[in-house]
A and B are shown apart, each in its own frame.
Chain A
Amino acid sequence: MPNRIKLFKIGQPSRPPISWGDAIVLAGLSILIYAGVRLAIGAPKVIQGPEISLSPSALPLYTGLSLGRMLAAYLLSLIFTLFYGRAAAYNRRAEQVLMPLLDVLQSVPILSFLPVVLLSLSAILPESTAAELASIILIFTSQAWNLTYSWYQALTTIPKELREASTIFKFNSWLRFKTLELPFAAINLIWNSVMSWAGGWFFLMAAEIFTVGQRDFRLPGLGAYLQAAADKGDLRALAWGIGTLILIVIALDQLVWRPLLAWSDRFKLAMVDSDTSPTSWFYDVLRGARLLDWLGRTVFLPLNERLDARLMRLFPANFEPSEDERRRSLGSYLLYGLVALGLVYGIYRLFQAFFALPLDQWRMVGLGLLATWVRVMLALVIAMAWTIPLGVAIGTNHRLAIFLQPLVQITASVPATALFPAFLLFLIHLPAGLNLAAVLLMLMGTQWYLLFNVIAGATAIPQDLRYTTTMLQLNGWQRWRTLILPALFPYIVTGAITASGGAWNASIVAEHVIFNGRTYNVTGIGSVIAQATASGNYELLLAGTLSMVFGVVLLNRLIWRRLYELAEDQYRLE
């Protein structure tokens, strides 16, 4: 084959950082938050939290409750994913709105919505229901986007021949979903589910321990248990709680995710066998079980056959060629008009609310944003300082990897927000204690993304290049500069993007805490939002939340995305 060298990046026109679609999406989101804040005005001034028992015998119930919330949100995310991704992948006009929306939603610090969602829901629902619902919505918003994105990506990258085969052999939409789309997306979906669950724990813990001023939004669950234990200084209960959480996370990993990953290996598209397939002892045990085998043959198989037959009759294959673009009808014009009108009105009201906010409070928001940004950067720098050397060591040294990898994985699986009450217990009395705790929480939430990416990057450095640097007698810093850092660059950028997202989220929980009946604050956008929630200053809540959203989206577009494109373009080892 001639000229296989890729000279140019293909099909990547340099995009402006903010497009029209983004602007509309951001405006819509702002209006939604505004509506939430309007609704929140009716929220009760004092909200009584639940009694939390510190006895270990209460733990099974709390664990069950926490798990139930996670499960509910995850199912919601899956349903959302299947429909949203499909609409975006198969309808070109929907795609133009849905994809920018997803992109913005993905980069928004979700925890900043927590106060607005909690307050607005508690204005219309009984408090406990509101808190439950808010936690589920919050977890949903942390789980759904990456799942949806991976489903969309799978649907749009199904090889043309497989798609054509399913058309020419007359698969109906059910059969196509079952034999083509779902298997093709399976591996990605499962990996993303693992990530979603890890993220979900982080947010669930935050939602379970959220208290501001007279409003105690805690939910009975593991997070509230940890908070109560730390509050009372009950080290034994704290240990019990953290132990249970670690146990649950490990059990889920061993009994659910690993078996699923091992099972999903069959959905690899690669036509060659690789020798690094995921393995799972539990999956092997299940596969060896006679009972399951028997159940499969006598129950599952006929059921599957019946289901297929039913669904194939219900939805006969559609032979019409796809993409028969209809002319825009009057109705859709009317709809667009209404949406545009709603946007204009919403923005008008939004600005009204903004102008009502005194200038010194705006200064507070700006200062808070800056302070939190400094904290985020500090956490990133600290994280890089230790993850890069360690990651390279683990990635290039097999013996070290065998020993350290599982250890790192377990430590990383504990949601940082769950440990936060424990940090407080030890740090709050130090000078600048909360500042320290806030940076520490950000660090805990961010460093693992970086570490895992660095390990992956270091493992991917080709042996040839390593030999070459040895041959050229490049040592020490020279070796790092010519080989290791450039090779790691894309991985570091990817890790840092995720990490900074996590750090912004952490600020909501970390900058304003009530501990042992006392309120602690540090300067930061998270504390601005929390204080506004506590005092019922709704203009400030709106301004704070929106500033954070806009600030983070802008940072993403102007800095991270450019770095990412640079990394993909110049430093990717193919």
Chain B
Amino acid sequence: MNNSLLELRGISQIYSGGTKQFTAVQDVNLTLSEGEYVALLGPSGCGKSTLLRIMIGLQQPSQGYVIYRGERLRSVNPQAAIVFQTFGLFPWLTVLENVDVALKAHGVAAKDRTPRALDLLDRVGLDGFETAYPRELSGGMRQKVGFARAMAVEPVLLCLDEPFSALDVLSAEALRGELLELWTSGNIPTQAILMVTHNIEEAVFMADRIVVMDKEPGRVVADMQVVLPHPRQRKSPEFLAIVDRAYALLAGQTQPESLEMGTAPGEPGRTRGLPNIAINDLAGLMEYLAESPNNREDLYRLAEDLKVDSDHLLRLTETAELVGFATISQGDISLTPLGETFAEASILARKEIFATRIRRLPFVRWLLALLRAAERQRLQRDVLKTALELEFPPDEAERQLETIANWGRYAELLAYDDDDDIFYLEQPGAQY
């Protein structure tokens, strides 16, 4: 290829946890061309940050390789820089020193460093803040220091790891505009930008191309071009159409029940993990949908109205699908009659509906069966964790147990004794 900057060939990242191996990233092939602004979009846990670290050489993939400007990358890419989600600034250095130290490590002579650092800070609008410490600055200004530092090494490839997600709404918006201005003006030596994000709207607003990833295992599921001129209008129909399409891709389609539920741990087939969601949030979503016209809503609009980020929203809708309260089709979510009943039910009735629904999940059925078979109907948490670690990576197994304890407690199906780390069956009618 003539102007390809970076290529990923057959990249996989596999972690071995205990007895089983887990695939964080599966067989990714991707090409970044010069002049491109690419967004890597996906839910949390899809391996997009891992992929970014592999691309830049901070991490070696288990399989496959990275090619940068025609040569295989074997160590950290010297022509790349990162802007981090939580800034990655040295809190004990002033704004100026933070930029200065990057120049120093780059081998710039002492007398040239200060003017260059000042110039960079001036360009991102931090003139006058040189002697401030990062903790004295707002989140947006700290990220500007992050950008200035990244620019200091004149990177050909600029990697952004969720650069706006730790900022408040207004400064994130301002910074996005300023970055786009720098990028489109061509005043920087950067040839390509790679941005990792879980925010669908942000990806559509900034990037020329969106690479959509999904989890379990982390893989690329779509590659969409965004051909809209900058500055983009968020409310324009073209813009919303692309956002809608991205939601449709990420939320997927509600599958037939057997597929949707997966299989129980230990059985052949894919075990469906429980989305890590608090029941209160689910109830809130149901109530909101029940008041929408036709009990139906566009997912992207929902994210806007509920002020939740797309990642959290997608986990909520996944839960709703799983328990049969809603169906998703082409980026729209609609309430099922059951979901409607749930939304209108009393507190106790809700618990009952939820209990009957999750009893059907293979994962829950498996757990209840185990508990029923156990002596005195109780099981050590560690035993369950070991069993789950055959299906999930260790920290995911931990999260699954936490979620099932929450759900089970809410549904009054099972109980958990935190003092002794024991799960046990809730006895019907038992009093405490």
**A residues bordering B, Cβ < 8 Å?**
1-3, 7-8, 10, 13-14, 159, 161-162, 164-165, 167-172, 175, 179-180, 183, 266-273, 305, 308-309, 312, 317, 319-321, 570
Point out the residues of chain B lying under 8 angstroms from A8, CB to CB.
Answer: 381, 398, 401-402, 418, 421
The CA of A40 and the CA of B351, in the complex, are separated in Å by 76
Query: Do A161 and B136 form a contact, CB below 8 Å, given A170-B106, A172-B105, A268-B91?
Result: no
Query: Do A167 and B58 form a contact, CB below 8 Å, given A8-B398, A320-B75?
Result: yes
The CA of A165 and the CA of B84, in the complex, are separated in Å by 8
Point out the residues of chain B lying under 8 angstroms from A305, CB to CB.
Answer: 110
CB-contact partner of B76 in A10, A161, A269, A321, under 8 A: A321
Q: Is B303 an interface residue (CB 8 A)?
A: no
The 8 A-B pairs of least Cβ separation, nearest first, read: A319-B75, A161-B88, A165-B88, A2-B278, A161-B84, A169-B102, A183-B92, A267-B92
Q: How far is the CB of A319 from chain B (nearest CB, A)?
A: 4
Q: Is B87 an interface residue (CB 8 A)?
A: yes
CB-contact partner of A175 in B81, B104, B110, under 8 A: B104
A168 close to B82 (CB less than 8 A):
yes
Q: How far is the CB of B119 from chain A (nearest CB, A)?
A: 18
Q: Is B271 an interface residue (CB 8 A)?
A: no
The CA of A321 and the CA of B75, in the complex, are separated in Å by 6
Point out the residues of chain B lying under 8 angstroms from A14, CB to CB.
Answer: 382
The CA of A161 and the CA of B161, in the complex, are separated in Å by 10
A164 close to B58 (CB less than 8 A):
yes
Query: Do A167 and B76 form a contact, CB below 8 Å, given A3-B276, A267-B92, A268-B91?
Result: yes
Q: Is B134 an interface residue (CB 8 A)?
A: yes
Point out the residues of chain A lying under 8 angstroms from B80, CB to CB.
Answer: 168
Query: Do A273 and B75 form a contact, CB below 8 Å, given A2-B312, A10-B398, A165-B82?
Result: no
Point out the residues of chain A lying under 8 angstroms from B401, CB to CB.
Answer: 7-8
Point out the residues of chain A lying under 8 angstroms from B133, CB to CB.
Answer: 266
A3 close to B402 (CB less than 8 A):
yes
Tell me how many residues of B have a C-beta within 8 Å of chain A.
Answer: 54
- Which of chain B's residues has its CB closest to A10's CB? B398
The CA of A139 and the CA of B304, in the complex, are separated in Å by 64
B88 close to A321 (CB less than 8 A):
no
Q: How far is the CB of A326 from chain B (nearest CB, A)?
A: 15
- Which of chain B's residues has its CB closest to A273's CB? B135
- Which of chain B's residues has its CB closest to A164's CB? B58
Point out the residues of chain B lying under 8 angstroms from A269, CB to CB.
Answer: 91
The CA of A570 and the CA of B87, in the complex, are separated in Å by 35
- Which of chain B's residues has its CB closest to A176's CB? B105
CB-contact partner of A169 in B149, B278, B398, under 8 A: B149
Point out the residues of chain A lying under 8 angstroms from B382, CB to CB.
Answer: 13-14
Point out the residues of chain A lying under 8 angstroms from B278, CB to CB.
Answer: 2-3
Interface-centre pick from A10, A165, A270 (highest chain B CB count, 10 A):
A165
The CA of A13 and the CA of B107, in the complex, are separated in Å by 47
The CA of A159 and the CA of B90, in the complex, are separated in Å by 10
Query: Do A179 and B136 form a contact, CB below 8 Å, given A172-B105, A321-B60, A321-B75?
Result: no
A183 close to B90 (CB less than 8 A):
yes
Point out the residues of chain A lying under 8 angstroms from B58, CB to CB.
Answer: 164, 167-168, 321
The CA of A321 and the CA of B59, in the complex, are separated in Å by 7
CB-contact partner of A179 in B56, B93, B416, under 8 A: B93
B421 close to A3 (CB less than 8 A):
no
Point out the residues of chain B lying under 8 angstroms from A267, CB to CB.
Answer: 91-92
The CA of A450 and the CA of B280, in the complex, are separated in Å by 44
Interface-centre pick from A8, A305, A321 (highest chain B CB count, 10 A):
A8
Query: Do A2 and B104 form a contact, CB below 8 Å, given A161-B86, A167-B58, A271-B134?
Result: no
B81 close to A168 (CB less than 8 A):
yes
A169 close to B81 (CB less than 8 A):
yes
B91 close to A180 (CB less than 8 A):
no
Point out the residues of chain B lying under 8 angstroms from A317, CB to CB.
Answer: 105
- Which of chain B's residues has its CB closest to A175's CB? B105
Q: Is B405 an interface residue (CB 8 A)?
A: yes
The CA of A319 and the CA of B79, in the complex, are separated in Å by 12
Q: Is B336 an interface residue (CB 8 A)?
A: no
Query: Do A168 and B87 form a contact, CB below 8 Å, given A3-B402, A8-B398, A266-B133?
Result: no
Q: Is B171 an interface residue (CB 8 A)?
A: no
Interface-centre pick from B281, B315, B418 (highest chain A CB count, 10 A):
B418
